[in-house]
Structure 1
Amino acid sequence: MKKVKFIYNPHAGDNYIIDKLDDVIEIHQRHGYIIVPARLDDHLDMAGAMADIEDDYHHILIAGGDGTVDILINYMMNRGIDLPIGILPMGTANDYAKYIGIPKDISRALDMMFRTEPRRMDIGKINDKYFLNVASTGLLTDVSQKTHNELKNAIGKLAYYIKGIEQIPSFRKIPVKIRSNDGEFEGDMYALLVFNGRTAGNLDLAYKSKADDGLLDVIIIKANLKELVPLLGKLLRGDHLEDPVGLMYFQTKEIFVETTDELIVSDIDGERGPDFPLHIRCIPDGIQVMGVGNI
């Protein structure tokens, strides 16, 4: 039987994967695969989980949210591991899995993985770190970092909105210089979002994005206070952002970001990102993903 490395975060999605372990094993055995499980501890020790990966594995299956999958991607890219990846979305938002059409139901997700060939997909890189969905900075972009896992598991994406409302009094503009071959901005902004995926916190923002086009989708929120509230309303409603007041949207292969604000931090899929200055670029065909739907 062919071997599959199965890495799971037992705390993701209110421990949902724990009750589904037998289903994962049974479905794989039915298709001629043997599961070799690795449980991520509280420190998300990917090196320990992947310690035997040089053996003859057919693919890697990971159960977790966007942040957990990013940890795996970084481990693989830094070590030149190019095995296909299957994703079982177990996080709160699961933005990337939704973007590429992977259902949250485990049986359906695994069925898609076994019925389709792995597909080459782009990934993003911000300085020395890789990401699947979005790199960001500024307004609300560190909400996930500041939201406790217990709250996420209890009330899901509503936890992000609650934490976001708490931050409204601290909204402030950030001085930045942003350069790329396809768009530039120098001045004060509220937020920068650079998408390899399409959504952030289940908000459909980068609606032009394609998972294998070799491009990043860049959104800069530069509204003044009078423009900010109606602009946020458009974002929350999921309106298409065809040149609205106070916002820039363009696609590019890479961008460079500088700021003089020493307090500002970057975020990668809900986790703390690297320090400024930032070099964010697309890595075309960076990974192989199983079970990709119609995108």
Structure 2
Amino acid sequence: MEKVKFIYNPNSGERRIAHELDKIIEIYQRENFLLVPFRMDRNRPLSDAFIDIDDYSHIVVSGGDGTVDLVLNAMKKLDVDIPLGILPSGTANDFAKAINLPFGTKECIEKIIKSTPKRIDIGKVNDKYFINVASAGMFTDVSQKINPDFKNNLGKVSYYIKGIEEALNLRKFNIKVSSREVSYEGDMYLMLIFNGKTAGNINLAYKAKVDDGLLDVIIVKGVILPNMLPLFISILKGEHLDGYNKDDILYFKTKDVNIECRDELTTDIDGEKGPDFPLYIECIEDGLQILGYEE
């Protein structure tokens, strides 16, 4: 019987994982796997989950994007390279959407078990890794600003409430972007560097691929207010990367990019606090073995 390490965040989403533990264990056991759980806890280092990890066939992590990000960084720090499956159970599960994972527990586990591992890209910002998106500017640190209990109890509604607060306080930031493809120095409202496709359940980087060896950079420039409404309408329609106005949006694909910011600005990676500026952001091609991935 093969062993599987199950790492789960009991506080993700609306804490629904607690009600599904028996179902998860039963499905794995029926498929002749021994599931060994590790409960994420602030009082215990995540590195403990990887003791004797070479004895396991794969890892399955249950949580949202932030949980997956924490597990990814622990794997890289410990040089763990075994297949990873994601059981989405967070408030936001953007990367799970990017690789077309089902959101039903039974369907997702069966897809993970029956799949063949595939190599995908991951991103790296300075000394931290990310699986979905690195960002800075308006709306991008909303997850960090929400009280965890408030977020767990209200779920997506808490993001909308905080997002409205952000929209009422428009602020521009001065940045300098340098890559092989683009040089830009000027104001922006927000920047997003995608490995996945969506952020906050909005399909912002719909041209991105997780296995093309490139990151997708989207920067909303400091446009004049009359241009904001049509720009956001095009974003909601999913048309902003086709025939876009280069005075409003800067979009390009790249292997790596340097970004500086003169203003005090917090970065975010997959819903967790990211490194301080300046940033060196790169695509780590084939950096992770993933299970259940479907184009």
Structure 1 and Structure 2 fold alike (TM over 0.5) = yes
Q: Which runs of structure 2 are paired with 1:111-150 in the superposition (5 Å)?
A: 111-150=110-149
In the aligned structure 2, how far is the partner of 1:135 from the partner of 1:248? 16
Give the 3-state SS of the residue equivalent to 1:203 in structure 2. Answer: coil
Question: How much does 1:240 deviate?
Answer: 4.0
Question: How much does 1:43 deviate?
Answer: 5.5
Q: How many residue pairs get matched? A: 292
Question: 104-113 or 166-175: which moved more?
Answer: 166-175
In the aligned structure 2, how far is the partner of 1:42 from the partner of 1:243? 46
Question: Could you tell me whether the CA contact under 8 Å between 1:122 and 1:286 is conserved in 2?
Answer: yes
Deviations 1:129-178 (A, max 9, x none): 00000001111111111122333333332321210111223321111100
Check 1:233–1:162 CA distance in 2 against 1; reply closer, same or farther (3 A cut).
farther
Question: How much does 1:221 deviate?
Answer: 0.4
Q: Which runs of structure 2 are paired with 1:145-184 in the superposition (5 Å)?
A: 145-184=144-183
Question: Could you tell me whether the CA contact under 8 Å between 2:173 and 2:261 is conserved in 1?
Answer: yes
- Number of the residue aligned with 1:236: 236
Deviations 1:162-213 (A, max 9, x none): 1011122332111110011112211111111000000000000111101100
Q: TM-score, normalised by structure 2?
A: 0.95
Pair 1:29 & 2:29 matched: yes
- Number of the residue aligned with 2:214: 215
Structure 1 residue identity aligned to 2:274: G
* Contiguous gaps of at least 5 residues in structure 2: none
In the aligned structure 2, how far is the partner of 1:279 from the partner of 1:153? 33
* Contiguous gaps of at least 5 residues in structure 1: none
- Number of the residue aligned with 1:185: 184
Pair 1:8 & 2:8 matched: yes
- Number of the residue aligned with 2:278: 277
Give the 3-state SS of the residue equivalent to 2:68 in structure 1. Answer: helix
Structure 1 residue identity aligned to 2:249: L
CA RMSD across the alignment: 1.5
Deviations 1:6-39 (A, max 9, x none): 1111111212111111111111111111011111
Structure 2 residue identity aligned to 1:24: I
Aligned-residue identity in percent: 51
243, 253, 259: which is aligned to 1:251?
253
Question: Could you tell me whether the CA contact under 8 Å between 2:14 and 2:155 is conserved in 1?
Answer: no
